């Protein structure tokens, strides 16, 4: 591989924005979950789409891997350089290009984070709803097809990306989608690049759908005696079509962890965390109906937080739950599971998972976006103990088998990367080979984030 030649060219092109310092390489080789360090050979900081195109052209010429980098918050090793190569860090491409308030859309660069976007939108009456917890970059969120706490109401990145600018594997710049609300014009390339994890090209601009800030917002917590009581309440709520904006589950172990980490004082019981968006009367109607459903399933202490600072405290606690759970076992690393099942199978999936983890002695608090049927067990392992890692990986595999058996998916929102690669054949069968054919067509040299998502080439 001509990685040294490629880096020499990139140095000429980018000057000090092509970096090889050990600290920078290691920073871009790490992961938030259990994967080992896998640094790239160099990190580049482009400032324009044209520079990204030149970087990819250079890498194509020298057959060198190209890996995109947003904020490094992906959980399946998507942004790690397991085969070395050039990391493209989008942090200097973080501008809002054009806000169209009348059409409720915005064009942004991929390095902009979702919180920075929402801060900039504050005065407009609009907001961008997709909320995976981490303050991720919007390019990264599109690439992993992120979703999160608000998806039950506002959809995933798939539903909220209207169009893209993409640098292809040959370094050509293309545009997908339009600013019209719908189109029947040709293959849905926007949808193809969303969730492709940088394996088909690099996203250099996004047109995002915005939503009106609701007139009224109310958040709430509700305790249940059992997880299955909480889940039954969720199933009834969704099946009734109540327009929940958020409906999140935390089991007892998760509640203990967030109490300790965020200084909360929730009763040590399973909880649902909720949010209602709408008109004043709509929010009141919805929360009243939810209260009745909750009571039927043993819910107690249903408490509303209409003040903005109380809501912020609640969702900050929720967003930090992953770190809270990690902190519950000092020194531990996490294997994060992410299954998603049809809502009617949710109680069964959670119940069987909890019993399996207990039986196999794996510590794994459960929490998730239960309104979508999506939940996580955060499996805590001692990084020095291969026995613990093996037990957790086996339990994680059984969770996936369970999800697939119930008509669900191995990953609701974290994506494939390398962490879920082993389950692709089981989930997709021959359709995985079709993904491989698409990959080969769009990246014939195999330089775009190699080793991720698609089958290995023969």
Cα 92 to the chain's mean position, in Å? 22
Q: Which residue has the tokens 């195109």?
A: 53
CA–CA distance, 305 with 312 (Å, rounded to integer): 10
Task: Return the H-helix or E-strand segment holding 278.
Answer: strand 271-278
Judge whether 249 and 367 are in contact, CB under 8 Å. yes
Q: Closest separation between CB of residue 101 and a second copy, Å?
A: 9
Q: Which is nearer to a second copy, 16 or 430 (CB)?
A: 430
Judge whether 254 and 366 are in contact, CB under 8 Å. yes
Q: Which is nearer to a second copy, 24 or 159 (CB)?
A: 159
Nearest to 347 by CA among 224, 220, 219, 221: 224
Q: Which residue has the tokens 């919007």?
A: 138
Q: Closest separation between CB of residue 326 and a second copy, Å?
A: 22
Nearest to 41 by CA among 53, 58, 29: 29
Q: Which is nearer to a second copy, 191 or 397 (CB)?
A: 191
DSSP state of 429: T
Q: Closest separation between CB of residue 215 and a second copy, Å?
A: 9
Q: Which is nearer to a second copy, 137 or 144 (CB)?
A: 144
Q: Closest separation between CB of residue 373 and a second copy, Å?
A: 6
Nearest 5°: the CA angle 333, 334, 336 is 165
Q: Which is nearer to a second copy, 4 or 239 (CB)?
A: 239
Nearest 5°: the CA angle 300, 306, 307 is 125
Judge whether 74 and 133 are in contact, CB under 8 Å. no
Q: Closest separation between CB of residue 41 and a second copy, Å?
A: 27
The pair of structure tokens assigned to 22 is 């050990």
Judge whether 434 and 453 are in contact, CB under 8 Å. no
CA–CA distance, 39 with 65 (Å, rounded to integer): 12
Q: Closest separation between CB of residue 46 and a second copy, Å?
A: 20
Q: Closest separation between CB of residue 408 and a second copy, Å?
A: 4
Q: Which is nearer to a second copy, 172 or 295 (CB)?
A: 172
Q: Which is nearer to a second copy, 69 or 154 (CB)?
A: 154
Phi-psi region of 349 (alpha: psi -120 to 50; beta: other; left: phi over 0): alpha
Q: Closest separation between CB of residue 151 and a second copy, Å?
A: 6
Q: Which is nearer to a second copy, 267 or 342 (CB)?
A: 342
């Amino acid at each position: 591989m001509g990685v040294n030649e490629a880096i020499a060219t990139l140095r000429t092109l980018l000057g000090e924005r092509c970096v090889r310092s050990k600290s920078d390489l290691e920073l871009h080789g790490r992961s938030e979950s259990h994967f080992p360090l896998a640094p790239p050979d160099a990190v580049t900081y482009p400032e324009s789409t044209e520079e990204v195109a030149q970087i990819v052209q250079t890498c194509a010429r020298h057959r060198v891997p190209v890996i995109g980098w947003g904020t490094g918050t992906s959980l399946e090793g998507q942004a790690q350089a397991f085969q070395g190569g050039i990391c493209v860090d989008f942090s200097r491409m973080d501008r809002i290009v054009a806000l169209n308030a009348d059409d409720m859309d915005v064009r942004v660069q991929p390095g902009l984070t979702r919180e920075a976007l929402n801060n900039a939108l504050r005065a407009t009456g609009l907001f961008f709803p997709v909320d995976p917890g981490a303050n991720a970059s919007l390019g990264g969120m599109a690439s992993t097809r992120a979703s999160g706490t608000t998806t039950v109401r506002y959809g995933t990145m798939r539903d909220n990306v209207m169009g893209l600018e993409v640098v292809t594997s040959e370094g050509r710049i293309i545009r997908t989608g339009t600013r019209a609300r719908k189109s029947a014009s040709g293959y849905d390339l926007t949808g193809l690049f969303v969730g492709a994890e940088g394996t088909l090209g690099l996203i250099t601009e996004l047109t995002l759908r915005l939503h009106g800030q609701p007139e009224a917002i109310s958040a709430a917590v509700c305790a249940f005696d059992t997880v299955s009581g909480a889940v039954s309440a969720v199933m009834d709520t969704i099946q009734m079509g109540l327009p929940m904006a958020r409906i999140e589950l935390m089991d007892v172990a998760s509640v203990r962890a967030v109490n300790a980490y965020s200084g909360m004082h929730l009763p040590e019981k399973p909880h649902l965390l909720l949010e209602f968006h709408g008109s004043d009367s709509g929010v009141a109607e919805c929360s009243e109906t939810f209260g009745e459903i909750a009571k039927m399933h043993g819910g107690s202490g249903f408490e509303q937080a209409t003040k903005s600072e109380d809501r912020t405290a609640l969702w900050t606690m929720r967003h930090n739950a992953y770190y809270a759970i990690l902190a519950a076992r000092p020194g531990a690393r996490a294997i994060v599971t992410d299954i998603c099942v049809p809502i009617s199978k949710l109680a069964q999936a959670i119940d069987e998972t909890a019993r399996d983890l207990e039986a196999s002695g794996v510590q794994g608090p459960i929490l998730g976006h239960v309104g979508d049927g999506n939940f996580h067990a955060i499996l805590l392992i001692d990084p020095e103990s291969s026995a613990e890692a093996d037990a957790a990986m086996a339990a994680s595999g059984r969770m996936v088998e369970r999800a697939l058996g119930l008509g669900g998916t191995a990953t609701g929102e974290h994506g494939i990367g390398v962490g879920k690669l082993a389950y692709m054949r089981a989930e997709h069968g021959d359709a995985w080979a079709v993904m491989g054919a698409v990959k080969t067509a769009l990246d014939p040299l195999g330089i775009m984030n190699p080793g991720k998502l698609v089958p290995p080439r023969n």
